[in-house]
A and B are shown apart, each in its own frame.
Chain A
Amino acid sequence: MRTVRVALLVLLAILYLSPFLFMAKTSLAPRAGGAFPDFGNYAALLGDARVLRFTLNSVVVTFAILAGNLLFASMVGYAFARGRFPGREPLFLLLLATLMVPKQVLMVPLYLLVVRAHLIDSYAALTVPFLVDAMNVFLMRQVISSIPTDLEDAARIDGANERTVFLRVVLPLAAPGLAVLAVTTFIAHWNDFLYPLLFTTRESMRTLPVGLALLSQGEHSVDWPRLMAGATIATAPVVALFLVFQRRIVDGLLKGGLTG
């Protein structure tokens, strides 16, 4: 019984890890005249201005969106959790309703909006529409609602202004929620494909996933080892995050659904 279980577990590991091992193995394939673990493909990538640019774009876009969501989603979540303003309930329902609208309904009008604003091939187009994610607002509202209000009240009685209450009292207490937000937002936008594809036309503005996908469709024959080196680089930050924050990432992503 135990042997069967161990065998099944090994089979499962092979099934789920072998594509990635193949990716890593291909990326180390020897170039002309080399021996097996040949880091030549990585060296070649570092000399490839295009791939460096894809990586830079991915880093800039992902961190801008991450920063926006850390600040804005917690501000809005705080307003929903602590505000007692008229219209709060309908607005919150509206927030949840935006989660139901499929991406494909918004992709054409958003593209036209970006075209009309002359923002195709700009970092603005790749970041601004994604700075306040409804899912993140929902998460932060839940997190902040679960924090007792005593400390905020105490700070106000001590004369703290609203900004201080938010930045010095609420945000530190919401840190575990912010950590979940940070890793899931990083992964979602580091991996994002559709909007970076639609909003860019110049090769110099492509992000890593889009740039690599288009390199695999060039007119010349595909240089798989080099492409797999690029794929490995695109995957490395996610692997690192996953190894450290596995439980939080799994919990966070199970709430949001598997998205392309």
Chain B
Amino acid sequence: MRLTKFHPPALPRMTTRSAVCLLLVVAAVAFGAACGSATGDETGAGEREGVLLAENATRPSFVLTDTAGQAFDFSAETEGYLTLLYFGYTNCPDVCPIHFANIAGALDQVQSEARKRVKVVFVGVDPPRDSPEAIRRWLDHFDRAFVGLTGTDQELVAAQEAAGVPPATRDEPDADGRYAVNHAGWVYGYTPGDEQTWQFPLGVRQEAWAGIIERLVAGSSE
């Protein structure tokens, strides 16, 4: 689906004061969007931007198991790559697949040299349903090169804490045994030399992803 971009109408000349007021309104809207507040009429699909979270922070260190059953030391295996990290679950119908479709689509657009310097890592935080096979099948829908990780509840909590996100929790199952998982909805990005840590909310469009991936691979956020 294509959404028409929103171009605000040209504003008439403003006084400095009204310009400042308007700027505050715009900033408030942008802040609300960036923070993903669910209040009021906010739409999840609004266009949003990545947020620079930290500079010169070391990427998280944790060890989980990949979909081939091998130990995967996150900081060692992803060192030197622009790394996109996401904690989700394969029974997630909305936010997770949208993020991954965006990233996969964006990677198809970037230069192949840049593509080689990107690793995308999905951590399945719902072990009862996120078997290595289920994770592999889910990721292959988007890109066979994406890394899928799993672990015990304890290992998964450690990984999420290392990444600075609140550990995922599972809702009580309904009569049918189905349940939703509450998990971090942002994608985290670590530049190749750990110069910058980025956070990407839902709403970063595929085009924007492609641009930011190329910039961050090149080591610049300009």
A binds B: no
